[in-house]
């Protein structure tokens, strides 16, 4: 059976799109403009609501979503995500931590490898850390982790990311039929209420609208290749 499309390492924007990606992006732009920005405003509201996350609860694993490295170094956002995962692990919320993210940009190592090294340096045992080191974006992070969890018989997941990313992460996880709770990394930049924070919120609102547009488009045209990536 053919495998769902996965972007190659260091994928460009267009390589990440995959089957139907360009069409769904065009539809997302057209619907946003054609409806006077209302779809974007609705999704922006969801982004802001999702930034608070869920009440912590025990799970089979904690997942730190990847973040593009600067050279081979962690960004402050990725480091904040990892720090929050460390806190949750030390609280006993889950016995294992997934670190997700493939090789992107100009890095010589994957985001997952860089994240593991940071956690090990902080005292987490290497045996408690699992790597998902092939993905190029959030959808692939979650898709690949789901495959490993199913193989191991694990069901529940705490997803850790910066607050404004959580709404899109949750929607993607639910689309993949993952049982998740979301936890924000409170120290992740940008500072809440700053201009950079609102710019990021605006972008996440559109990206969330694009995700839902892509799901609807894939179902309407009954594209097996597209649906295999997102469900």
Q: Which residues contact 195 (CB under 8 A, 6 or more apart)?
A: none
Contact (CB, 8 A) for 159 and 170: yes
> Quick check: 2 pLDDT over 70?
no
pLDDT at 4: 85
pLDDT digits (tens, 9 = 90+) for 83-113: 999 999 999 999 999 999 999 999 999 999 9
Structure tokens at 99: 């670190």
Residue 87's SS3 state is helix
Task: Give the mean pLDDT of 50-72.
Answer: 96
Task: Give the mean pLDDT of 116-133.
Answer: 98
Q: Say what the pTM is.
A: 0.94
**Which residues of the chain does CATH 3.40.50.620 include?**
52-184
pLDDT at 25: 97
Distance from C-alpha of 100 to C-alpha of 137, rounded to nearest angstrom: 9
Mean per-residue pLDDT of the chain: 95
Beta-ladder partners of 61: 157
Task: Tell me the percentage of the chain whose pLDDT exceeds 90.
Answer: 90
pLDDT at 19: 84
> Quick check: 67 pLDDT over 60?
yes
pLDDT at 145: 97
Task: Tell me the percentage of the chain whose pLDDT exceeds 70.
Answer: 99
**In CATH, 52-184 is 3.30.70.3420:** no
pLDDT digits (tens, 9 = 90+) for 3-22: 788 899 999 998 999 888 99
Which of the 8 DSSP states describes residue 126? G
Phi-psi region of 193 (alpha: psi -120 to 50; beta: other; left: phi over 0): left
Structure tokens at 109: 């190592």
Confidence of residue 1 (pLDDT cuts 50, 70, 90): very low
pLDDT at 167: 98
Please tell me which residue, 2 or 224, carries the higher pLDDT value.
224
> Quick check: 149 pLDDT over 50?
yes
Task: Return phi, psi of residue 75, to 5°.
Answer: -80, 160
Task: Give the mean pLDDT of 124-148.
Answer: 96
pLDDT digits (tens, 9 = 90+) for 30-52: 999 999 999 999 999 999 999 99
Cβ burial, residue 194 (10 Å; 0-12/13-18/19+):
exposed
User: HEC states along 155-217?
Assistant: CEEEEEECHHHHHHHHHHHHHCCCEEEEEECCCCCCCCCCHHHHHHHHHHHHHHHHHHHHHHH
């Amino acid at each position: 059976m053919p495998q769902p499309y996965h972007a190659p390492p260091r994928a460009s924007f267009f390589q990440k799109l995959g089957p139907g990606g360009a069409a769904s992006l065009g539809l997302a732009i057209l619907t946003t403009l054609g409806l006077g920005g209302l779809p974007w405003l609705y999704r922006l509201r969801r982004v802001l609501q999702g930034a608070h996350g869920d009440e912590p609860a025990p799970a089979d694993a904690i997942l730190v979503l990847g973040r593009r490295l600067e050279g081979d170094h962690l960004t402050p956002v990725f480091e904040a995500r990892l720090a929050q995962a460390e806190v949750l692990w030390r609280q006993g919320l889950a016995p294992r931590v997934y670190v997700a993210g493939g090789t992107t940009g100009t890095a010589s190592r994957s985001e997952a490898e860089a994240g593991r090294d940071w956690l090990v340096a902080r005292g987490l045992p290497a045996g408690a850390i699992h790597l998902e080191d092939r993905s190029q974006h959030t959808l692939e992070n979650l898709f690949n982790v789901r495959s490993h969890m199913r193989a191991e018989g694990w069901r529940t997941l705490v997803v850790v990311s910066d607050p404004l990313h959580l709404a899109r992460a949750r929607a993607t996880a639910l689309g993949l039929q993952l049982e998740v709770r979301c936890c924000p990394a409170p120290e992740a930049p940008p500072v809440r209420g700053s201009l950079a924070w609102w710019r990021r919120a605006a972008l996440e609102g559109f990206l969330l609208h694009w995700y839902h547009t892509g799901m609807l488009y894939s179902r309407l045209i009954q594209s097996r290749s597209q649906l295999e990536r997102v469900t």
